Amino acid sequence: MFDKQTLFEARTGGYHSYRIPGIVVTPGGTVQAYCESRQGRGGDWDPIDIRIRRSTDGGVTWYPARVVVDHRDYGATVNNFVMIPDLARRRLCALFCADYARAYRMFSDDDGATFSEPEEITPILDGFRDAYDFKVVAVGPGHGIQLGNGRLVAPIWVSPGTGAGGHRPNRDGTIYSDDGGDTWHAGELVPDTLPCCNEATAVQLADGRVMLNVRHSDLGTGLPPVETCYRAVSVSADGATGWSEPRMDFALPDPICFGSICRYDATRIVFSNCASHGTELAKWARDRRNLTVRVSDDDALTWCASRSLEPGVAGYSDLAVLPDGTVLCLYEDGMIDRMTDTARLTLARFDLAWVEHVT
């Protein structure tokens, strides 16, 4: 089974483009698809709102998009919206940042129909400062996870903001909550043995440990060398502390772009990213194309099946799994004027048989 549909189309709804997708399934079975809705020319620092679409039939049909975070309320852009379904409380916790400097959290107790007023949690980020002095901060993007013990975990990255684009160098880590998102704490940062680790995606392994699958880059400003363009992984016993030194997974080529990892069931994990090392689309980056979905049956040590979901220009993607085993992938699809001028956000629905080429 495989089908896809457009959820957000560039140059519509009063926005230049829609980027940085995220998708989750609520404890009640409602699908939440969300993104940065960008004005201006669609850049990271342009005026950005967060918009959401909801589906109550497994992603087949969708309610119209609505704004849940308006940048005008913060006097700055807002970015990196992350949702975490809390199965214990049957609620959604959401995190986001403003101006890449302040962090907020909010809740929904009605499957995403409404949300509480955002509350600032920026002071908890001071827990990172002993290890790394930073000015720029961003949670996620994509989705966070809930561990088997109830802990909520969200990847985060921080930067002193002195390098290219104001975002480099950088390091990643996690923030976590043990009370359903009421209070948050800074975990530890991943060891700085691989430069510029950022925009991680998390999954709990079968033995309870937590793995971060990490985007990273070199410290240069031009085209990154191909030998650095692979995903990296780091593991923690509790999703917060004691992260292992990051190592590259040479089975996962990557053009330095956000990817997504998600537990499918007790024995399998799914992963998506642009598996490309091409150099045709931009002088400053490798090509974001060939969005590929992979399956692992050994806790992401190896990948037993894969299939290209979008051979052409793509970008950021995020994964979720429905109760019936259908996989949802919301991804940046196509381009208009340049590689990061995303044409649309597309939702693909498929089963593992499609990934495994089983008919």
**Model confidence pLDDT, tens digit, residues 21-42:** 999 999 999 999 999 999 999 9
pLDDT digits (tens, 9 = 90+) for 289-312: 999 999 999 999 999 999 999 999
Which residue in the block uniquely carries the two structure tokens 């992350």? 82
Rounded to two decimals, the pTM is 0.97
Measured between alpha carbons, how far is 236 from 172 in angstroms, rounded to an integer? Answer: 13
Give the burial class of 130: count Cβ atoms within 10 A of its Cβ; 0-12 exposed, 13-18 middle, 19 or more buried. Answer: exposed
Low-confidence residues in the chain, pLDDT < 50: none
| pLDDT value, residue 338 | 92
Q: Are 48 and 77 in contact (CB under 8 A)?
A: yes
Round to whole Å and give the CA distance between 96 and 267. 31
Q: What is the pLDDT of residue 160?
A: 92
pLDDT of 163 reads 60
pLDDT of residue 217: 87
Predicted local confidence at residue 45, as pLDDT = 92
Backbone φ, ψ for residue 41 (5° rounding): -105, 10
Half-sphere exposure of residue 31: CA atoms within 13 angstroms, side-chain side? 27
Q: Is the CATH number of domain 2-355 3.30.565.10?
A: no
pLDDT at 164: 56
Please state, in angstroms and rounded to a whole number, the distance separating the CA atoms of residues 244 and 248.
12
User: 170 near 158, Cβ under 8 Å?
Assistant: yes
Q: What is the reported pLDDT for 359?
A: 56
DSSP string over 202-271:
EEE-TTS-EEEEEEE--S-SSSPPGGG-EEEEEEESSSSS-PPPPEEEEEEE-SS---EEEE-SSS-EEE
Residue whose C-alpha is closest to residue 173's, from 134, 229, 121: 134
C-alpha pair distances (Å), 325 with each of 26, 58, 180, 265, 351: 15, 11, 26, 8, 7
